[in-house]
Amino acid sequence: VATTPSGDPTATGRLATDPQATAALLVEALPYIRRFRDKVVVVKYGGNALSDGAGGEGRALASFAEDVVLLRSVGVLPVVVHGGGPQIGDLMRRLGKESEFRDGLRVTDAETLDIARMVLVGKVNRDIVSAINVHGPLAVGLSGEDANLITAAAHSVELGYVGSVSEIDPTIVVRLVAEGLIPVLATIGADEAGQAYNINADTVAGAVAVALGAEKLVFLTDTEGLRADPADPSTLIRQAGAADLDALVAAGAASGGMAPKAEACADAVRAGVDRAHILDGRVPHALLLELFTDGGVGTMVVR
Amino acid sequence: VATTPSGDPTATGRLATDPQATAALLVEALPYIRRFRDKVVVVKYGGNALSDGAGGEGRALASFAEDVVLLRSVGVLPVVVHGGGPQIGDLMRRLGKESEFRDGLRVTDAETLDIARMVLVGKVNRDIVSAINVHGPLAVGLSGEDANLITAAAHSVELGYVGSVSEIDPTIVVRLVAEGLIPVLATIGADEAGQAYNINADTVAGAVAVALGAEKLVFLTDTEGLRADPADPSTLIRQAGAADLDALVAAGAASGGMAPKAEACADAVRAGVDRAHILDGRVPHALLLELFTDGGVGTMVVR
Amino acid sequence: VATTPSGDPTATGRLATDPQATAALLVEALPYIRRFRDKVVVVKYGGNALSDGAGGEGRALASFAEDVVLLRSVGVLPVVVHGGGPQIGDLMRRLGKESEFRDGLRVTDAETLDIARMVLVGKVNRDIVSAINVHGPLAVGLSGEDANLITAAAHSVELGYVGSVSEIDPTIVVRLVAEGLIPVLATIGADEAGQAYNINADTVAGAVAVALGAEKLVFLTDTEGLRADPADPSTLIRQAGAADLDALVAAGAASGGMAPKAEACADAVRAGVDRAHILDGRVPHALLLELFTDGGVGTMVVR
Amino acid sequence: VATTPSGDPTATGRLATDPQATAALLVEALPYIRRFRDKVVVVKYGGNALSDGAGGEGRALASFAEDVVLLRSVGVLPVVVHGGGPQIGDLMRRLGKESEFRDGLRVTDAETLDIARMVLVGKVNRDIVSAINVHGPLAVGLSGEDANLITAAAHSVELGYVGSVSEIDPTIVVRLVAEGLIPVLATIGADEAGQAYNINADTVAGAVAVALGAEKLVFLTDTEGLRADPADPSTLIRQAGAADLDALVAAGAASGGMAPKAEACADAVRAGVDRAHILDGRVPHALLLELFTDGGVGTMVVR
Amino acid sequence: VATTPSGDPTATGRLATDPQATAALLVEALPYIRRFRDKVVVVKYGGNALSDGAGGEGRALASFAEDVVLLRSVGVLPVVVHGGGPQIGDLMRRLGKESEFRDGLRVTDAETLDIARMVLVGKVNRDIVSAINVHGPLAVGLSGEDANLITAAAHSVELGYVGSVSEIDPTIVVRLVAEGLIPVLATIGADEAGQAYNINADTVAGAVAVALGAEKLVFLTDTEGLRADPADPSTLIRQAGAADLDALVAAGAASGGMAPKAEACADAVRAGVDRAHILDGRVPHALLLELFTDGGVGTMVVR
Amino acid sequence: VATTPSGDPTATGRLATDPQATAALLVEALPYIRRFRDKVVVVKYGGNALSDGAGGEGRALASFAEDVVLLRSVGVLPVVVHGGGPQIGDLMRRLGKESEFRDGLRVTDAETLDIARMVLVGKVNRDIVSAINVHGPLAVGLSGEDANLITAAAHSVELGYVGSVSEIDPTIVVRLVAEGLIPVLATIGADEAGQAYNINADTVAGAVAVALGAEKLVFLTDTEGLRADPADPSTLIRQAGAADLDALVAAGAASGGMAPKAEACADAVRAGVDRAHILDGRVPHALLLELFTDGGVGTMVVR
């Protein structure tokens, strides 16, 4: 007979001091857990998050992978979309090839495309899949070329093999999700003739969310969220509608990488996605906090 | 554009002060939620809890009903078993009939059985079903006579229609659970000839847990748990094995209503139920705290 | 080698005298048995039938239970609805509480409701379930509160907790029937807030038949059927349409307990039930004779 | 409003005189109907029955077809096997070909086989199928050559294409029965090389009953049943075991066409068929009386 | 270790001389095999093909049976319809009965119908079923009377029991095909009263193709195909539309047995059958060549 | 009306000259097509085939892709495994990193592994997937890290991240195949901690064939097959058993890249794969010729 608590001392200590707060949080979280069960949540994980310094990369990725696996464990259906701009730049430098940008997009000749594809599909995608699969046989890497997932077209002649999305065929993603797996998607697409293109990952994330009828689209970034004035942290926008985002983009407030995210959010909620979020991926477990508590993190976009 | 938080002030206030603690609790709770998904948990809800004074009854029952519904919402499969001794005594008094007890069991003639059945099936069971169904069409009341759920035999000649369990056929319970419903079970049984018997609810709860292959058996009582010395609160037992409980019962430490609970716990874990618990039902949301956190409440019985 | 008949003497004796009549009856009955297979038949069993004197009760109930089980054995899907007025009156008398009636309906305060619920759900329902289950694990008792089966509203302010049917959600009944079970329904309903009401069983039987898309609605009563002149047995009505019943009720010919039965029959056939019947439940096996032979018993209502 | 009975005058007249006898017969028959539901009953219908004189043929066949359809309508699964000896003899005579018999079996050269096949498959089988299908699209004619149903071997060299059963593959019969159809089987078989043989229909009926795991095997003949002394009607055998039949055959009591029937009955019950019967097919609705009443007709063979 | 080729000498010899031609044919054939998978092909096999002289009959039938089995083996769903005019004539002659024709149709009294039915169902159908079943338990013979497959009506009073098609109920054919079987259909039909009729097999083949939603309808004949001028082989028509056939028939170019074939082809493609063909059944494996190669044989009819 | 052939001139020309040879080939091929339906065939496609000079690469890959798609179209279930040694060497050279080999295996440090993974998963795999998907949404690229497909362990300390196969979990491959897709597998594996390894593709192909219970394992190489004397083309081995291969390897006859292929073939047939082949991938449509004709190409390994 043991008269000591059945749990471990730390946990019991916490509960002993505040079981009511714990119960209250459970009562708050359980309805969310029920609500998101069997619902698709598309999460865009940025290349920046993967390269933020010595050691940091590994920790941030491991924490993200844990959240994705926990979501899956309670029945949420996460689909991960990722970019990899910084990593593409690295390999180009190592190969002595210079990157040229126009309007923030990398001019992509055949060799650059080959490099981008190797980095996105053969490195970044692999790193994310591996981080998730430490927890079990869950993640499967996909490129937009697989099973005609992303049909692409050239974005403009001068950018070369930079593509825009012509069509998303989500069949393979739906199948893998139905099998209990977590698809991790590199944003290479192909046209009807089999020519590959590199596509902006924010745009793909939005289009995939729409094609899947996702409940939520979440961008994990390295900022707190969208600001009315990019230079002023006190102007963080907590909630906005699609039209608000259109105005911000038109006014130039969503500068740099924020513009495609803002546009993807606006397009997604207009096309039926219930909520879109731009979150601070640097907050540990930002995904869990957003999905399962009343309190919000970052910017929420509603219809 | 709203720059106020997306949640309500109170919640955000709490999160603002401690998002890390919230995230930690979610990371703690989610694996439990996954683990108990699609698992049967048999909960014995005592008659005492239903009659503890003016107003109190309603609040305790409502809180219990909320817990049961929250469990169901995240995929746990609760089965409720209830007693009703105090309520039977009430109606007997009103009908001018005296209760006679032998060894703590009520001598039950045909009229007493009729009264017990009306109270258990027609009143206590109905009150619990109604309290749950405020949240949706979830609960279905059952008596052990339905679809031959409980086959009973006379416990002893001098006690009349007090029964012991001969056999449990859990088919109807399994069917209702499979349909997403919450069975609420009054502990009347019948023998092959159709004669009804009143059976101790603690014993039935244990037998039903075994017949269903339940993951957990939980007794919600009006005490903190089992004590090594009934008179000394400091001797609360946190964890015990089946043999420990046998010894306690043999030594008379589990007196009064605790004896059948202790025996049911010991029998259940021996027959394959993973864990049995005697909890303090007066702690709000005791069920949630027990199932979904590391910390324990009351007495846990292991194999 | 036996040169005696393979059956028992009595049976063979009968057959020996009239095999052709026997064959003719089989040829007559088999198409009915085919026709009612997998069809729902709602049977209202009255409280009067349960309290018609010393010993008679048991025999009538046992004969009724046998018919219901035989119907089920050849694939008919019986659903039993019952009342219990006389039994409620009995318990009220024993508790020293006086019954007050207005327009034939019992004024029902909170205490009366509690008594009615205990009697209907905890006694009458149980007695019918037990009588059926002597033949196998077939019957399951239900109250209208289970799984939101009957949503009720107050009938009128001065009658208290006497309810009328707002909505029938037959899901639980459909499920049990699909599992091969025989639902036995006590006619207590609840409103959205969980407040219970006692509802006229004839009305509920009709509403349940409509909600289930039943093939037949049968009232087993203690009279021969409906009479054009209640005082004159020679005016027994063999067959009538819904409009005929409306006229009878308007003219006051359907007095006392007959009025709600007549109205329920008229409403049911108007809402798509193929046939409704008011039969003399005192004729042994009246149910079998009505369903499986050309000859009719009592009053048949057609569209 | 009609105060006349709902049924037709004749039926009501009968019921008016004896509703209790009618109810008693229903109570007797319903358990049999339940018991034989989804059970296979193999019925051998003899060629004699088809050729018993002017007009008689049509009536007997129509009555038999009605019984088979009624059985099917209440869920029994009838399989019909037929012969056609007299009809084969007819066509041979018309073609100027003489029949030669050895040990009661027709010597069968290639031409005789062609004639037998045309008569059995192209005439007798068609007549039975048509008689059944007057009641609905139920019967499907089969020859033992279809889907390798009957694999045959030569019975003896001197008899030519008279076959014995090597193997029954009941797959096609099982499939048709599962589709709700009534297979009608002509007893032509084929060997591995595709050579056809004519086989005794009594023997095939027994083998098919065994291969299907039939509940019953019924021979409809033009006699009252098996007699201990073929010449003495008072020695009709009501019930016998397999060993009894062996003895009768050995003693020569089962002469002529009775011998293969007796042997088939004995073999069938030994191989697991529950009951085998030799009935007088001239009694109208003999099949219904045998299956659905306590009284027996003809000879019953038990294990 | 063997340094000899793994195949047999002959085959390897052929491949050694031309592997590229072999590969080319496979590349040509595989898409056709894919395209006709799970598609119904109705093949009319003429009675003439069965009676073309000493020995020839067996070889032609065996070759046809092999083709049908090969088609089935790669997933095509063949349904065979056959006639038997010459064989009916034979038996009539043997029975001393004279055949009388009007407009190319045999006047059919009751005796002639009996003869036709015996020959078609009991002989020709059996011969085709046996030839196929040498390869496995695949073929099942059917008459239009089975399961109400063909409802017929009298074609004209003076022709007697010559029928035209009133309705095709293809349920039994669909079931057998779904079970992997090959239905072989004799073209006897029956009216509602069960009266049988003999129907032109070409007409039935077309109606069955339409009722089944067949992909192809193929007539195997003993000519090269349809000719613009029946007397001039050089006018063989390779491809035609429905209107072309109408014109040919109107002009009398499709004489004799070709007229009903031409009409059936025209009706079938008009009602949705993709292609109809009149092929020379004397070319070995004509069916395979037509279905699986680019080259055509005989006349193809398109919409 | 067209009197020209229905197919195109070329094809018809060929058929006109030899319809019998065409029919004979179909009769030969169809049983093979039936036999391999729904059977898994693992095809190892070598990196050499992808880099054999200007323009040649594209044509060989396109021809291979066409064969794979044709196989799939007739129900064969191809699974492609590929290497990419030459392509890894290319990128290393471009990055100024020297390759070091021990016993024919590339010493692989962390950077080399990154390069190998990018090339295999991000380039070679992509090229094959794209070539197949020109024909439809069929191919899906996989790495052994996906869904724990290949668990690897270090081959030896001095080789670094060169792995050997510890375990194959074919679940994801089975799922994709069941969905009608063609998995294309890059041979990177991971250990339990998520560390990646580069593994010999021949070895993986054999292990995958065994894990899938494949019918065939086919190595497409740039030689005619296995030779008893590597230097003497006349010693090409047509057929060998597993023991023969063991002897060849032991004797050093299977030198260079042939050794792991020979070992994989021997292991596969020992573990239940029906046949293993080493074919000359330079012969157009070698896969089709091997699977669907009697003649063999290259070396066949049997149990």
Give the tens place of pLDDT for each residue, C211-229.
999 999 999 988 888 998 8
pLDDT at E253: 79
The predicted model scores a pTM of: 0.83
DSSP class of residue C159?
A: G
Residues of F in Cβ contact (< 8 Å) with E6: 238-239, 295-296, 300
pLDDT at E2: 56
Residues of F in Cβ contact (< 8 Å) with A117: 122-123, 126
Kindly tell me whether chain F and chain C come into contact, counting contact as 3+ Cβ pairs under 8 Å. Answer: no
| For residue E10, pLDDT beyond 50 | no
| pLDDT tier at F12, thresholds 50, 70, 90 | very low
| For residue E57, pLDDT beyond 70 | no
Residues of C in Cβ contact (< 8 Å) with B87: none
pLDDT digits (tens, 9 = 90+) for D237-247: 999 999 999 99
The amino acid occupying position F35 is R
Supply B236's token pair: 């609360």
- Span F234-248, average pLDDT: 93
pLDDT at C110: 93
Q: 3-class DSSP state for residue D275?
A: strand
What does DSSP say about strands F188-190 and F196-199: parallel, antiparallel, or unpaired? antiparallel
C-alpha C236/C-alpha C253 separation (Å) is 12
pLDDT at A253: 78
| For residue F299, pLDDT beyond 70 | yes
Handedness of CA A199, A202, A203, A209 (dihedral sign): positive
| Cα separations in angstroms, A249 against A100, A252, A256, B88, C89 | 24, 5, 10, 71, 76
Supply C167's token pair: 């909505």
Using CB atoms, pick whichever of A117, A137, A194 lies closest to residue F169: A137
Task: Work out the number of other CB atoms within 10 angstroms of the CB of residue A247.
Answer: 15
C-alpha E78/C-alpha E177 separation (Å) is 8
Single out the residue of E223, E271, E226 nearest to residue E244, CA to CA. Answer: E226
Using CB atoms, pick whichever of A19, A237, A296 lies closest to residue B283: A19
Q: Which chains touch E (3 or more CB pairs under 8 A)?
A: D, F
Q: In sequence order, which residues have a C-beta less than 8 Å from that of residue B280 and are 6 or more positions away?
A: B221, B222, B223, B224, B225, B286, B297, B298
pLDDT at D57: 54
Please spell the DSSP secondary structure of B160-195, one letter per residue: BSEEEEEEE-THHHHHHHHTT-EEEEE-EEE-TT--
| For residue C11, pLDDT beyond 70 | no
Using CB atoms, pick whichever of A5, A25, A70 lies closest to residue B30: A70
pLDDT above 70 covers a percentage of chain D that reads: 91
pLDDT digits (tens, 9 = 90+) for D66-79: 999 999 999 999 99
Range from A18-22, A140-144, B31-35, E56-60 carrying the lowest mean pLDDT: E56-60
pLDDT digits (tens, 9 = 90+) for B125-156: 999 999 999 898 899 999 999 999 999 999 99
What does DSSP say about strands B182-186 and B77-82: parallel, antiparallel, or unpaired? parallel
Using CB atoms, pick whichever of F134, F141, F181 lies closest to residue A194: F134
pLDDT digits (tens, 9 = 90+) for A68-78: 999 999 999 99
| pLDDT tier at C57, thresholds 50, 70, 90 | low
The residue among B66, B97, B118, B133 with the most chain C CBs within 10 A of its CB, best to mutate, is: B118
Q: What is the mean pLDDT of chain C?
A: 88
Residues of E in Cβ contact (< 8 Å) with D193: 134
Contact C4 D66 (CB under 8 A): no
Token pair 């007090």: residue:
B162
| For residue D26, pLDDT beyond 50 | yes
Listed in order, strand segments (DSSP E) in chain D are: 40-45, 77-82, 101-102, 105-106, 139-143, 150-154, 162-168, 182-186, 188-190, 196-199, 216-221, 239-241, 275-280, 299-302
pLDDT at F96: 92
Residues of B in Cβ contact (< 8 Å) with C121: 121-122, 125-126, 141
| For residue E73, pLDDT beyond 60 | yes
The residue among D20, D232, D294 with the most chain C CBs within 10 A of its CB, best to mutate, is: D294
Range from A17-31, C182-196, D85-99 carrying the lowest mean pLDDT: A17-31
| For residue A55, pLDDT beyond 80 | no
Residues of A in Cβ contact (< 8 Å) with F181: 147, 172
**Which chain B residue lies closest to C195 (C-alpha atoms)?**
B130
pLDDT above 90 covers a percentage of chain F that reads: 65
| pLDDT tier at E5, thresholds 50, 70, 90 | very low
Contact B175 C175 (CB under 8 A): yes
The residue among C61, C126, C129, C191 with the most chain B CBs within 10 A of its CB, best to mutate, is: C126
C-alpha E89/C-alpha E103 separation (Å) is 16
Residues of B in Cβ contact (< 8 Å) with C112: none
Q: In sequence order, which residues have a C-beta less than 8 Å from that of residue F141 and are 6 or more positions away?
A: A121, A141, A142, A143, A145, A146, F121, F125, F126, F128, F129, F184, F186
Range from B245-259, C187-201, D23-37, D67-81 carrying the lowest mean pLDDT: B245-259
Residues of D in Cβ contact (< 8 Å) with E147: 133, 137-140, 181
pLDDT at E6: 41
A192 pairs with which residues across the strands? none
Residues of E in Cβ contact (< 8 Å) with F70: 26-27, 30-31
- Span E238-266, average pLDDT: 90
Gap from A97 CA to chain F (nearest CA, Å): 11
**b vs e for B242-264, b when ≥16 Cβ sit within 10 Å of the residue's Cβ?**
bebbbebbeeebbeebbbbbbbb
Q: 3-class DSSP state for residue B149?
A: coil
pLDDT digits (tens, 9 = 90+) for C248-270: 999 887 777 889 999 999 999 99
User: What phi and psi, each to the nearest 5 degrees, are found at residue F24?
Assistant: -65, -40
| pLDDT tier at E122, thresholds 50, 70, 90 | very high
pLDDT at B3: 52
| pLDDT tier at C55, thresholds 50, 70, 90 | very low
Tally of CA atoms within 13 A in the half-sphere of A32 that contains its CB: 18
Contact F238 E3 (CB under 8 A): yes
pLDDT above 70 covers a percentage of chain A that reads: 91
Q: 3-class DSSP state for residue C293?
A: coil
Using CB atoms, pick whichever of A140, A145, A193 lies closest to residue F172: A140
**Which chain F residue lies closest to A62 (C-alpha atoms)?**
F194
- Span D90-94, average pLDDT: 94
Q: In sequence order, which residues have a C-beta less than 8 Å from that of residue A29 and are 6 or more positions away?
A: A292, A293, B26, B29
| For residue E94, pLDDT beyond 80 | yes
Kindly tell me whether chain D and chain A come into contact, counting contact as 3+ Cβ pairs under 8 Å. Answer: no
CA B92 to chain centre: 24
**b vs e for D274-293, b when ≥16 Cβ sit within 10 Å of the residue's Cβ?**
ebbbbbbbbbbbbbbbbbbb
| For residue F170, pLDDT beyond 50 | yes
| pLDDT tier at C281, thresholds 50, 70, 90 | confident
- Span B68-78, average pLDDT: 94
pLDDT at E193: 86
Contact A284 B6 (CB under 8 A): no
Contact E238 F4 (CB under 8 A): yes
Handedness of CA B91, B95, B96, B102 (dihedral sign): negative
Residues of E in Cβ contact (< 8 Å) with D142: 140-141
pLDDT at B13: 35
C-alpha E249/C-alpha E251 separation (Å) is 5
C-alpha C242/C-alpha C226 separation (Å) is 13
| For residue A52, pLDDT beyond 60 | no
| For residue B16, pLDDT beyond 50 | no
pLDDT at B6: 41
| Top-confidence residue, E157 or E49 | E157
| Cα separations in angstroms, F63 against A14, A209, C183, F15, F70 | 67, 36, 67, 24, 11
- Span F250-263, average pLDDT: 86
| For residue B294, pLDDT beyond 70 | yes
Single out the residue of B156, B57, B162, B157 nearest to residue B116, CA to CA. Answer: B162
Gap from C145 CA to chain B (nearest CA, Å): 7
Gap from D97 CA to chain E (nearest CA, Å): 11
Q: What is the mean pLDDT of chain B?
A: 88
The residue among A140, A168, A173, A197 with the most chain F CBs within 10 A of its CB, best to mutate, is: A140
CA B68 to chain centre: 11
Single out the residue of D122, D136, C265 nearest to residue C254, CA to CA. Answer: C265
Contact B22 A25 (CB under 8 A): yes
C-alpha B202/C-alpha B187 separation (Å) is 9
pLDDT at C3: 53
Q: What is the mean pLDDT of chain A?
A: 88
User: What phi and psi, each to the nearest 5 degrees, are found at residue C240?
Assistant: -150, 160
Contact E193 D126 (CB under 8 A): no
**Which chain D residue lies closest to C288 (C-alpha atoms)?**
D23
> Which residues in B have their CB inside 8 Å of a CB on C?
91, 94-95, 114, 117-123, 125-126, 129-131, 133-134, 136-143, 145-148, 169, 171-172, 175, 179, 181, 188, 190, 193-194, 196
Range from A83-92, B215-224, F13-22 carrying the lowest mean pLDDT: F13-22
The answer to whether residues E279 and E290 touch, using CB atoms and an 8 Å cutoff, is yes
pLDDT at F2: 55
pLDDT at A207: 98
pLDDT at C12: 36
Tell the burial category of A38 from Cβ atoms under 10 Å away from its Cβ (0-12, 13-18, 19+). exposed
pLDDT digits (tens, 9 = 90+) for A251-267: 887 777 889 999 999 99
Contact F140 A172 (CB under 8 A): yes
User: What phi and psi, each to the nearest 5 degrees, are found at residue D154?
Assistant: -65, 135
The amino acid occupying position B140 is V
Range from B47-51, B241-245, D224-228 carrying the lowest mean pLDDT: B47-51
**Which chain E residue lies closest to D178 (C-alpha atoms)?**
E175
C-alpha F196/C-alpha F120 separation (Å) is 13
| pLDDT tier at B51, thresholds 50, 70, 90 | low
Gap from F250 CA to chain E (nearest CA, Å): 15
| Top-confidence residue, A50 or E227 | E227
Contact E137 D171 (CB under 8 A): yes
Residues of A in Cβ contact (< 8 Å) with B11: 28, 293-295
- Span F64-85, average pLDDT: 94
pLDDT above 90 covers a percentage of chain D that reads: 64
The residue among A145, A149, A173, A198 with the most chain F CBs within 10 A of its CB, best to mutate, is: A145
Range from A179-188, D95-104, E259-268 carrying the lowest mean pLDDT: D95-104
Q: What is the mean pLDDT of chain E?
A: 88
pLDDT at C192: 87
Gap from B161 CA to chain A (nearest CA, Å): 37
| Cα separations in angstroms, B294 against A12, B274, C74 | 7, 16, 55
The answer to whether residues C121 and B142 touch, using CB atoms and an 8 Å cutoff, is no
pLDDT at C1: 54
Task: Work out the number of other CB atoms within 10 angstroms of the CB of residue B207.
Answer: 25
Q: Which chains touch D (3 or more CB pairs under 8 A)?
A: C, E
pLDDT at C302: 94
Range from A34-38, C231-235, F275-279 carrying the lowest mean pLDDT: C231-235
Q: In sequence order, which residues have a C-beta less than 8 Å from that of residue A76 and are 6 or more positions away?
A: A36, A37, A39, A41, A291
pLDDT digits (tens, 9 = 90+) for B255-276: 778 899 999 999 999 999 999 9
User: What phi and psi, each to the nearest 5 degrees, are found at residue C30?
Assistant: -60, -45
Q: 3-class DSSP state for residue F8?
A: coil
Q: How far apart are the first and last CA of chain B?
A: 58
Alpha helices for chain C (secondary structure H): 9-17, 19-36, 47-50, 56-73, 85-94, 110-119, 125-133, 171-178, 201-212, 242-250, 258-270, 286-292
Supply C78's token pair: 């019986």
Token pair 């694999």: residue:
D151
Contact C236 D3 (CB under 8 A): yes
Handedness of CA C99, C102, C104, C106 (dihedral sign): negative
| For residue D4, pLDDT beyond 50 | no
Contact E194 D146 (CB under 8 A): no
The residue among D92, D146, D192 with the most chain E CBs within 10 A of its CB, best to mutate, is: D146
pLDDT at D9: 36
The answer to whether residues B216 and B206 touch, using CB atoms and an 8 Å cutoff, is no
Q: 3-class DSSP state for residue F301?
A: strand
**Which chain B residue lies closest to A288 (C-alpha atoms)?**
B23
Supply F82's token pair: 């590929």
pLDDT at E9: 36
F158 pairs with which residues across the strands? none
